[in-house]
Structure 1
C-alpha cells in the first residue's frame, strides 16, 4: 500500500492512498470532518452502507464502529482532507460559548454535500500542507471556522459535538448482534459495551455459551453465506464487509465451516 499523509497538525491532514484498494476496520476516537478531493470510499456501519466520492463533505461521529474501504477512481488516487474534532478541543470550544447538549443526538454520519462554505474552508487548507513554517494558531482558527460553519448549517449538531459522555454499560447481546461484522479487538468491544475485557468475556459466555471468537466467526460466515446465495454477490466483495481481513482466510474458514468453497455459490439458485 502506497500511503502518504501531510499534516498541518496532528488534527488536520491530507490523506492519499495510491493503491487500488485499502480496507480497515476502525472505531473513530474523535469526530472526523472529511472532504473528498478524489477517489471513492465505502463506509459500512451497523445501520447501513454509505458511498462517498469527489466533492462530498461528511462528519463521522466518534465511538462508532465501521469498515472503511477506499478506492482510487477515474485514474486519480483516493485523496481527502481530514479534520479531527477532538474531545479536548470541543470541550474548550463549548466552555467558551456556554452551550451544552440538550439531548443525545443520533450517532449517524452527517452528509454536507458540496456545501460552498465548508468546501471553501477545507479547500483553503491545501496550500498549508506544503509549508514548512505555519502561521501561529492557524490550525485552531481553521477548526474553529469549520465548526462554526457546521453549527450554522446543522442546528442539531451541538447535541452531538457537545456530548462528552463515554459509553456506559449496555445490553451485550443486542450490541454484538448488531456489530459482529466489525473486526475489532475484544478490548474495544468491551469498552463500547461499558465493560472491562474480563467482564466482557464473562458476560459474553453467559449470553452466548461460547467464546467471542467462535461466535464471531460463525456469525460472519453465516452473513457471508446469505450475501453470496441470496444477494448474488462475489466473495471478494463480501469477505471484507463481514469482518475478514483477506480473501484467502475467508475462503479457508468458509470451506471449513460449510464444507464447500464460497465460489461454489456463484450462480447457485435458492
Structure 2
C-alpha cells in the first residue's frame, strides 16, 4: 500500500506513506503547516539537501517549488499531520487583523524544529482523526486560527508571507529556469510560475535558449547528475530522483546516450 490521505476537514488531514519512499516535485497552491509524526523527510533543491525527522514542524510556502522525498524509519511508516492555510481563510483573518505587508522573497519552506506551541496545537488534532464524521467547521476554524496566531507570535515577520495574496508575475525566464530545472513539472506549471501562458512560455523559451524546454531540461538534469556522481561520489540510485528523473533505468539510458558511458562507469573518467 502506498499513499493514504485521511481528511477530517478540507484543511486538515493525516498523511501516510507506507512504501520504501515517496518522491514528489510539488507546487503548493496553499501554505501548508506540517508536523512530522514518524519517518523521515528529505527536501532537495539543486545541490542542497535538508533532512527532517519525527517531531519537526515545517511551513511550506504557496507557489514555491519543492522536491520532497518521504521515507519510513525504524519500522514505522511516514506519517504527518497537515494543516492547509488557504487564501480565503487568511484573507478573512487579516481583514480582522490589519497589517502592513511589504514585498519579500518567500522561502520555499520554513522549519520550526519542535517548537512547543506549534507542537501542542498540531498534536491536539490527533484525536479528531478517530472521528467517524467530519470535523465541524466551527472547531476547525478555531484550530487553524490558533495555529496562525502562534506562527505570528513566534515570528512577527510571518505576516509578510501569510498576508501576501499576489499571484506570480512575469519574471526572468533565464533566472527561474536555471534555479528550478530539476523539478519535474508540466510545461503549464513552468509557464504559470514565470507568469506566462503555455504558448508564451514555449515561445519565450525557444527565443532565450535556442532549443525546446524538454531538451534543455534533460541536458541540465544530466549535467547535474554527472556532477553529483563524479565530483561528490554519490551513487546513481541516490541521485536520479533528485535531479528530476522518475525512473532509474530511463536515467541510465539517457545518461549513457549523453556521455557515452553508464553512470556506474563514471569512476576514473
TM interval, short-chain normalised: over 0.9
Which residue number corresponds to residue 25 of structure 2?
25
Deviations 1:8-54 (A, max 9, x none): 11211011111111111111111110001100011113583221110
CA RMSD of aligned residues (A): 1.4
**Native 8 Å contact 1:220 1:242 kept in 2:** yes
Of stretches 131-140 and 15-24 in structure 1, the one that deviates more from structure 2 is 131-140
**How far apart, in 2, do the equivalents of 1:213 and 1:98 lie?**
45
Matches within 5 A, 1:1-270: 1-46=1-46, 48-133=48-133, 134-265=135-266, 268-269=267-268
TM-score in terms of structure 2 length: 0.96
Q: How many angstroms apart in 2 are the aligned matches of 1:69 and 1:244?
A: 13
Question: TM-score when scaled to structure 1?
Answer: 0.96
* SS of equivalent residue, structure 1 residue 166: coil
Of 41-50 and 186-195, more deviation after overlay is shown by: 41-50
C-alpha deviation, 1:100, in angstroms: 3.8
- Structure 1 residues 241 and 14 mapped into 2: Cα distance closer, same or farther (>3 Å)? same
Cα distance per residue 1:114-156 (max 9 Å; x no partner): 1111111000000101102334511111110111000001110
- The 1:162–1:252 alpha-carbon spacing in structure 2 relative to 1, beyond 3 Å, is same
Structure 1 unmatched runs, 5+:
none
Shift of 1:70: 0.5
Q: Which runs of 5+ in 2 are unaligned?
A: none
Q: Residues 35-93 of structure 1, C-alpha deviation per residue, up to 9 Å, x if partnerless?
A: 01100011113583221110101101111111111000111110000111111111111
CA separation in 2, counterparts of 1:202 and 1:260?
A: 34
Q: CA deviation at 1:269?
A: 3.7
For residues 156-214 of structure 1, give each alpha carbon's deviation from its aligned partner in whole angstroms, at most 9, with x where no partner exists.
Answer: 00000000111111110111011100011001110100100000000000100000000
* Distance in 2 (alpha carbons) for counterparts of 1:12 and 1:104: 27
In 2, the alpha carbon distance for the partners of 1:24 and 1:119 equals 25
Q: Distance in 2 between matches of 1:136 and 1:85?
A: 14
- Partner Cα separation in structure 2 for residue 82 and residue 189 of structure 1: 26
Q: Measure the CA separation in 2 of the matches of 1:269 and 1:89.
A: 56
For residue 256 of structure 1, report the CA deviation from its aligned partner.
1.3
User: Displaced runs of 4+ in structure 1, greater than 4 A?
Assistant: none
Measured in 2, the distance between the counterparts of 1:148 and 1:47 equals: 34
Q: 1:2: how far off?
A: 2.1
> Tell me, what secondary structure is at the counterpart of 1:241?
coil
Aligned residues: 268
Question: 2 CA distance for matches of 1:2 and 1:228?
Answer: 29
